[in-house]
Amino acid sequence: MSLPRTFLCLFIICFAKPALSFASNNIHHNLNVTLNPAEHSVEVSDELTFPEVLLNHSSIIVYLNKSLTLDPKQNFATVISHEKQFPVPVRAYRLSLKKGQTSFVLRYSGALNHALTSQAEEYAGSFSETAGMITAEGVFLAGSSVWYPYVEAAHVSFSMKVKSPKGWRVVSQGDRLEQMDHGQVDLVLWQELNPQEEIYLIAAPFHEYSKAVGKVEAMVFLRQEGRTLANKYLEVTAQYIEMYRQLLGPYPYTKFALVENFWETGYGMPSFTLLGPRVIRMPFILHSSYPHEVLHNWWGNGVFVNYQQGNWAEGLTSYLADHLIQQQRGKAVNFRRNILQNYADFVSDGRDFPLAEFTSRHGSSSEAIGYGKSQMFFHMLRQRLGDERFVTGLQRFYRQYQFKQAGFDGLRQVFQTLSDDDLTPFFQQWIQRTGAPALQLADVTVKRDRNGWLLQGILKQVQAGESYQLAVPVAVTLEGYSEAYQTNLVLSGKQQRFSLRLAAKPMRLDIDPEFDLFRRVSRAEIPPALSQAFGAERVLLVLPSRASTETRFAYEILVKRWRTAQFANLEVAYDNTLETLPEDRTVWLLGSQNLFANEVIAALAGQGITHQSGAIQLKQGIFNPDQHSIVLTARRHNKATQAMVWLAADRPQAIPGLARKLPHYRKYSYLVFEGVEPSNVVKGQWPVLDSPMSVALTPAAIKMPNLASRPALAQLPAGFE
């Protein structure tokens, strides 16, 4: 059954038509739009002005959402068959051009209300999506909606006059030139003359707040009044626009707006971000996800991505936002370790692909590559060039490709001008190759002679396939020295013997101690974490036979949810039907009375965990499963690749919330929640006790001293802390 269509009388908004000087290769849209949210409908008049490159053709093919119907009086448009794929059903029209004709006016109308669909829940940050909708709650129209005439392989610019219901506000990219109340409707004019990849139209009954940030206007659009919340976002917008301006160059737009959506999203558009109502009220978002969206206006929305070469923008944005913030806080080493852990946990051989093939995130494995591996690529490029040349390269890349498409080739060419050696092999092995190096130490010896101390050993690459060209960081703890000796070992073959002449007795050797290399880490280098359990290819969930009927039923609901959203290969059994736990898969033990719970406690020997009289003691305190929900992650005693998780929760009302929330806590080894919501009160990672990349060179346990300090690439400007 088709959606109802309502044809509205076209309302021409009476704004003066601006003088245009848009880029000559854009298709310019001069849009007059009337929104009728109650009827899910829109009516549009669009004057398309074509660039000279398209005027060489006798006709132009445009695509339009199939739910939208051209004015029947416009008989110059011919419907044609097509095979091009879109997120929504479309019609293709052939527009015949007369000699000397440079523009068309298309008038069309119809209802747009594409349903929300859920993304997979297997990775953090998953949201529902729609190709586009017009509802009484709000309007979301984007390129995916094909709500304006789309011409293949063309950038656009636009002037957009919108009529919306009284009290509504409309948001798009670019400049808001006019805003008027007009009787029972509101009128607005948005314009963006720089090249764009698509045109957005967001509308709702917003409350608006703003603040000048130099030449940029910070704006906030909330669905409820919230001056205090708005002021926080306005201040943070000013902070990060100024920080990134100093780091990269001028902000490419005249505004940045936080817009509250009417469902949970985390979208970054040119000059605004569209975040869900719960997301924007999480206090940590202000200095985590929000700066990421601000920075996308330089990378992705300021310099466009050539997806044929892979999406570099997500990795670079994440590195200069998420990683940079962690470095400012002194937590970058753990952040990089978590990146490598996600790759180890979620990217098996069958799930791997090269960075050149990454376009967007569609699950945990693609996230580990397109965001994680890409961040490490930029981190290694920075280590290779040094901070000064790395920043200079970013600035040159931004200036050269602003409002243009760029790929990894463009990045390589820009950074090549700053490098003393050829960067082609470096880019090729990290961008074009699948996989990662894996390192192993062997035959480490210490000798003393007349010239001092000599530390020798063999460093191997043990991954299948060809070797990588690596500069492997090394730290040696020396007797009597407060700082470690640090150097890089150049490794180009499958193994390299190294010899280090040292000024004092070496006490400890650490290979890649700060996780500066992208590599497949050994399980013993990283703590067991939920990521290993959620990333497993085979999973057994063991239900508690001795739990109450209500609790068992709640766990069975959890099983149904995870079978659909988390695990492709999931088996379920009750604990009283098993004699032993299988060794060839990850095991989840559900319920505090699970008959196999003590196997987790035994596997965590050395971590200081006790389990007595039903209570579990961590370093943060004693927790009882009838009051708290406790999650402990371990590795099987003889199967480092298999995880074992104990979810000790006896309150059936809390179990649905745990099923929903635990996939978003995947980097942690242990968790404690309270209440039926439930709310997290304890989280952490087990310390690594026996890393194969750390070698003790004396019988006594030696802690690695401080390594050389490494300043962050940028700091928030003075007066903003």
Return the amino acid letter for 249.
Answer: G
Average pLDDT, the chain: 91
Strand partners, 448: 453
pLDDT digits (tens, 9 = 90+) for 502-524: 999 999 999 999 999 999 999 88
Q: What pLDDT is attached to residue 55? A: 73
Q: What is the largest CA-CA distance in the chain?
A: 98
The answer to whether 122 and 80 have CB atoms below 8 angstroms apart is no
**Assigned fold of 439-524:** Immunoglobulin-like (2.60.40)
CB neighbour burial string for 304-314, b if at least 16 within 10 angstroms, e if fewer: bbbeebbbbbb
Supply 368's token pair.
């580990």
Q: Look up the pTM and report it.
A: 0.88
Average pLDDT for 142-151: 96
Supply 201's token pair.
């139209």
For 1-205, CATH number out of 3.40.50.150, 2.40.128.90, 2.60.40.1730, 1.10.1370.40 equals: 2.60.40.1730
In the predicted model, is pLDDT for residue 706 greater than 50?
Answer: yes
Number of Cβ within 10 Å of residue 420's Cβ equals: 8
Class of domain 304-432: mainly alpha
Distance CA 502, CA 506 (A): 7
The answer to whether 465 and 457 have CB atoms below 8 angstroms apart is no
Write down the residue that tokens 């949810």 correspond to: 561
User: What is the architecture of the domain spanning 530-684?
Assistant: 2-Layer Sandwich (3.30)
Strand pairing category for 670-674 and 679-684: antiparallel
Supply 434's token pair.
């699948």
Whether 1-205 and 439-524 share one fold: the answer is yes
Q: Residue ranges per domain, the chain?
A: 1-205, 304-432, 439-524, 530-684
Supply 614's token pair.
């039903």
DSSP string, 192-231: EEEEES---EEEES-EEEEEEETTEEEEEEESS--HHHHH
1 burial (CB, 10 Å; 0-12 / 13-18 / 19+) is exposed
Q: What pLDDT is attached to residue 126? A: 54
How far CA 102 is from CA of 47, 52, 108, 198, in Å, comes to 10, 8, 20, 21
Distance CA 587, CA 129 (A): 32
Q: What pLDDT is attached to residue 10? A: 29
SS3 451: coil
pLDDT digits (tens, 9 = 90+) for 640-658: 778 999 999 999 999 999 9
In the predicted model, is pLDDT for residue 22 greater than 70?
Answer: no
Kindly list the strands in the beta sheet with 59-65, ordered across the sheet, starting from the edge strand earlier in the chain: 59-65, 90-96, 77-80
pLDDT digits (tens, 9 = 90+) for 27-66: 999 999 999 999 999 999 999 999 887 777 678 899 999 9
The answer to whether 181 and 207 have CB atoms below 8 angstroms apart is no
Average pLDDT for 324-346: 95
pLDDT digits (tens, 9 = 90+) for 289-302: 999 999 999 999 99
Strand partners, 391: none
The answer to whether 453 and 435 have CB atoms below 8 angstroms apart is no
- What number of residues does the chain have? 721
Nearest to 674 by CA among 663, 682, 666: 682
pLDDT level of residue 91 (50, 70, 90 thresholds): very high
